[in-house]
Chains A and B, each alone.
Chain A
Amino acid sequence: MTRTELAVIGAGPAGLAAATTAAAHGVQVTLIDELPAPGGQYLAPAGAPGRAHAPLSAAERRGQALLDVLTGSGIDVRAETIVWNMAADRRLQLYGAGQMEELVAQVVILACGAREVSVPFPGWTLPGVMTAGAAQLLAKRHGLAAGKRVLVAGSGPLLLPTAERLARVGATVVAIVESAPMTAWMRLGTTMWGHWDRVREGIHYGWALLRAGIPYRFGRAVTAARGHDRIESATIARLDAAGRPIPGSETAVDVDALCVSFGLTPNVELAQLAGCELVYEPQRGGWTPVVGGCCQTSLAGVLAIGDMGAVEGAAAGMLEGRLAGLQAAHLVGRLPVTAVTEAITKDAAARRRYHRFGAALNTIFVPPDGLFSLAADDTIVCRCEEVTAGEVRRVIAGGVTELDSLKQWTRVGQGPCQGRTCGPILAQMIAQQAGRPIAESGVFHVRPPAKPVPLAALAASRGERDVA
């Protein structure tokens, strides 16, 4: 068992900001991430083959600067390391470099980020159908195009950089298919005030797409993907006001990749395992930890920052990270509380702006209800266990209205992802079919290990003080 003053879980922009801030105030920091190098989903690590391709936005430049500070900062960086369990008393179970380790932290900052929300449709499990984030990563990090002829679909601002990056690495982007109506962007209205970086980014992408001749179509969605061993064509339909496809409006396009994004939802699994209180807040992206003024969760000494607390983007995450780093420094006795309260006051206005903008994006660009009718009865909704929509609909019709109960009547959520992909889908299906608020279906009860760990490594890590 080892000890540290501050454990930061997640080395994306928020986690980097927290770790570097705390370290700058003399805190002993352990920074843990399961990826091979720090940076999270947002920042390509140094030396990444695709890094040369991408021009950096202001937030990316600030994030890269944090990465550059890491070496020589004294932070103990644990890359390729999984945190597979966390207890309320901040005992962390780590698996990395083939070894198990128990790490006890005085303060834990959870910066686990967020993941894409999926809407199932026939053919969505075919190779070549992936999230927009996956396509971006392939392009940004590896200079690889997801396919030669690519369709980008879904809802929200992530579709734009995805299309731009795909074009940049040589793909023909057939179109961007946005399910929201064109007026959605106008609804953002005054929430965009102050977010000039994002506005500039938006203009940059819009201009790039115009130059590349990539159509940007609104009020439409992909209703099916077809192909044998990979996607060969996608069907696009116009949507009615409720988001249902209008029969007769379908057109098919030949593509070899389909990149879909419907927004992000926080990765709350470790918070859940430790026993943090969770709350369902669509403005923040879905189920998130209950947090107080300085990112404090319901557990003493545990903070939650970045997209994991509320999906608001990298810049907001770095701001919160800095505050959490100061708070951590205070909690271990390196800073007076005034340093923290002053920083919170100073940043309060900016945080409010980020929150309003994030809340607008998270509530405007959501998959419309009607899209959840796309899944045919034989469409898989739980990818791990291959459970179909029909099976789930039958069980919901029988009166099952909680996710954990669904897990007992079918095999949903029992695979290696423990419901990360299917959870939000099933919550929507229950809400719509049973006519109940989404929050009432609860969350899947995640069990340790938060992510699979090798059995042999568990076996080998038995200590003498272990029981039996």
Chain B
Amino acid sequence: MSQAYKRYFGILLTVIGILLYIIPLAYGFFTVKPGEPLSTDSWYGRGYYISAILILIGPALWLGEVPQALVKAVKAKMLGVKGGGS
């Protein structure tokens, strides 16, 4: 998968994940008596329990490369070191 497609796919997964996440919680919050459990048997509940998985993997595809701040910190340390670690 090319980088661009990977990004779009990641964004798509993230958006679907957020929708699956928010809709059941919002629906439950406004319609169900507070404290009464929502169930995965309900129509709005089915997607909820896979939503966090999508939210987990979506941004990883979208923003997956190592942060530059981290790379710079490692480079700076390696340039200033005196020897190996073993």
Answer whether A and B are interacting partners: no
